[in-house]
């Protein structure tokens, strides 16, 4: 049952702030926290855990590949549940899973416990900052959807500078106590924001973008502007209809190829820079530059999707990702200046893909069944998500270098660009 409260409806009508922006702010806060302590912060613990237990990087990477398998199973279920019950219950459940997973990691004594801890935190992360958050923004915004999704994803921008909190915790307390502190703090920080989530705006006497916005900005007559916003709720396709379109499968393939470069570096970016002679602090600084500069992609990508052709924007982002990996593989201790163009291009590509996926899916297939369609689309990324971390870990363990794996990721990213020519929007009917 969707969350509804008559008091909320009356206060919504008199509030000067459109509640959609409160949802965006809540998503930003939770995303910032999980980015700092897990999405990027886990890399801080990678080398200490490997050294303490004597685990190989391939074995540790397997936990994050298994995480992708978990995601492929969970995300379609997650999408159907959020379409049915709204986002609040799922986000609250995600926070509880996240805290529990960090408690497991704080008491590690075997590789099995490491895998369990990673999976539990990953489930929490997916529920907290994945489909439920994007679902809420998609429902509450239409004309401003790209910008709202970009702003909602920009909380992670400052997680890079704050990553030094995690570095400090691990250095002063050790990895076990650091995980325990993070687990407790996750519950304290994120649960209040989780309760701010709501279901569809119509349940609270509102409309997408807000009544005041629509009064001040009447529906434009320009057909291109109307077309860029995609299908309305009443025109939305169901998940089975979306699965019968050619566009769904082309987009799924493109997203899967793009995911390989991201999923590999999410695990191995700091270890890579350590392997070419950077200290942990220096490697963390590179990640800081990248997360800060990803704000350009998060905000700019969302804005660009509201203004330009979605396929053209996606193609430009893939080019940025390929160029960034080419620069990365040529960085040495003697060419530190290359860190900055790498961080800029990779940050733009990484940041922009966060709103872009949701904008394309919602504009091509409509917002009504967005959760289910988005979940099914992301579940197909399982193969690429599993392969990339394992590939990078295996090649490093075998050759002592990440170089070959980076060249493979470059080639795969380039191969994702040509299929975009076939990813035309459906005409409102399945083909």
Residue 3: predicted pLDDT? 47
Query: Of 370, 366, 387, 367, nearest to 378 (Cα)?
Result: 370
pLDDT at 72 over 70: no
Name the residue among 416, 298, 299, 307 with its Cα closest to residue 354. 298
Residue 208 φ/ψ region, left for φ over 0, alpha for ψ in the -120 to 50 degree band, beta for the rest: beta
Nearest to 267 by CA among 183, 157, 390, 128: 390
122-168 pLDDT tens trace = 899 888 888 888 889 988 988 888 888 888 888 777 777 788 889 89
In percent, how much of the chain has pLDDT > 90? 20
Judged against a pLDDT cut of 80, whether residue 10 lies above it is answered with no
pLDDT-derived band at 392 (thresholds 50, 70, 90) equals: confident
Residue 90: the pLDDT is 93
Q: Which of 51-55, 100-104, 400-404 has the highest mean pLDDT?
A: 100-104
CA 351 to chain centre: 9
Query: Which residues, in sequence order, are CB contacts of 326 under 8 Å at separation 6+?
Result: 410
Q: How confident is the model at residue 98 (pLDDT cuts 50, 70, 90)?
A: very high
CB atoms within 10 A of CB 309: 14
Query: Hey, what CATH topology would domain 7-213+222-422 get?
Result: Growth Hormone; Chain: A; (1.20.1250)
With pLDDT > 70 as the criterion, what percentage of the chain qualifies? 86
Integer Cα distance of 385 and 402 in angstroms: 17
pLDDT attached to residue 223: 42
Confidence of residue 96 (pLDDT cuts 50, 70, 90): very high
Does this model's pTM top 0.75? My answer is no
**According to DSSP H, which parts of 223-338 are helical?**
223-228, 239-243, 246-275, 280-307, 310-329
Quick one: pLDDT at residue 227? 41
Segment 258-282 shows an average pLDDT of 81
For position 181, what pLDDT does the model report?
95
Q: Give yes or no for a contact between 315 and 420, defined as CB atoms under 8 angstroms apart.
A: yes
- What mean pLDDT comes out for the span 324-334? 79
Residue 331 three-state SS: coil
Which pLDDT score, from 0 to 100, does residue 7 have? 40
Average pLDDT, the chain: 81
pLDDT band at 87 (very low <50, low <70, confident <90, very high): very high
- pLDDT-based confidence at 271, cuts 50/70/90? confident
- Average pLDDT for residues 188-207, to the nearest whole number? 90
* Plot region of 424 (φ>0 → left; ψ -120 to 50 → alpha; else → beta): beta
pLDDT at 300 over 60: yes
The pLDDT score that the predictor gives to residue 305 is 78
Q: Is the pLDDT of residue 62 over 80?
A: no
Residue 153 to residues 32, 274, 290, Cα–Cα distance (Å): 9, 28, 15
The ranges assigned to domains in the chain are: 7-213+222-422
State the average pLDDT over residues 271-289: 81
Q: If pLDDT is split at 50, 70 and 90, which confidence band does 70 have?
A: low
pLDDT band at 222 (very low <50, low <70, confident <90, very high): very low
Q: 325: Cβ–Cβ under 8 A, 6 or more apart, which residues?
A: 261, 346, 406, 409, 410, 413
């Amino acid at each position: 049952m969707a969350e509804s409260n008559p008091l909320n409806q009356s206060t919504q009508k008199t509030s000067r702030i459109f509640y959609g922006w409160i949802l965006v702010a809540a998503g930003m806060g939770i995303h910032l926290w999980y980015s700092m302590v897990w999405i990027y912060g886990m890399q801080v613990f990678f080398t200490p855990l490997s050294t303490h237990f004597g685990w190989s990087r391939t074995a540790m990477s397997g936990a994050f590949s298994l995480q992708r398998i978990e995601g492929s199973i969970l995300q379609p279920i997650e999408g159907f549940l959020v379409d049915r019950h709204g986002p609040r219950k799922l986000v609250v459940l995600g926070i509880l899973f996240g805290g529990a997973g960090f408690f497991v990691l704080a008491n590690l004594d075997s590789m099995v416990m490491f895998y369990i801890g990673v999976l539990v935190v990953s489930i929490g992360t997916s529920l907290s900052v994945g489909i439920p958050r994007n679902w809420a923004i998609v429902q509450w915004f239409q004309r401003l959807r790209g910008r709202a999704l970009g702003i909602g994803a920009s909380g992670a921008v400052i997680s890079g500078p704050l990553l030094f909190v995690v570095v400090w915790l691990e250095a002063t307390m050790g990895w076990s106590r650091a995980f325990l502190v993070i687990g407790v703090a996750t519950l304290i920080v994120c649960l209040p924001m989780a309760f701010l989530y709501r279901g569809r705006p119509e349940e609270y006497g509102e409309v997408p973008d807000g009544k005041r916005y629509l009064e001040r900005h009447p529906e434009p007559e320009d057909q291109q502007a109307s077309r860029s916003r995609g299908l309305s709720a009443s025109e939305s396709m169901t998940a089975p209809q979306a699965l019968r379109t050619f566009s769904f499968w082309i987009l799924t393939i493109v997203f899967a190829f793009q995911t390989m470069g991201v999923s590999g570096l999410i695990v191995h970016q700091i270890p890579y820079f350590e392997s070419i002679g950077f200290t942990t602090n220096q490697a963390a600084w590179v990640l800081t530059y990248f997360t800060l500069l990803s704000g350009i992609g998060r905000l700019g990508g969302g804005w660009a999707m509201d203004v330009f052709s979605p396929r053209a924007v996606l193609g430009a982002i893939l080019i940025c990702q390929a160029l960034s990996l080419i620069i990365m593989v040529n960085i040495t201790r003697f060419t530190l200046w290359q860190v900055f163009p790498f961080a800029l291009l990779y940050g733009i590509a990484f940041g922009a893909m966060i709103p872009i996926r949701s904008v394309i899916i919602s504009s091509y297939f409509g917002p009504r069944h967005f959760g289910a369609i988005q979940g099914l689309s992301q579940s197909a990324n399982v193969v690429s998500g599993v392969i990339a971390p394992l590939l990078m870990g295996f090649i490093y363990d075998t050759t002592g270098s990440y170089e070959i794996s980076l060249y493979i990721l470059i080639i795969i990213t380039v191969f994702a660009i040509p299929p975009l020519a076939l990813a035309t929007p459906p005409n409102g009917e399945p083909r």
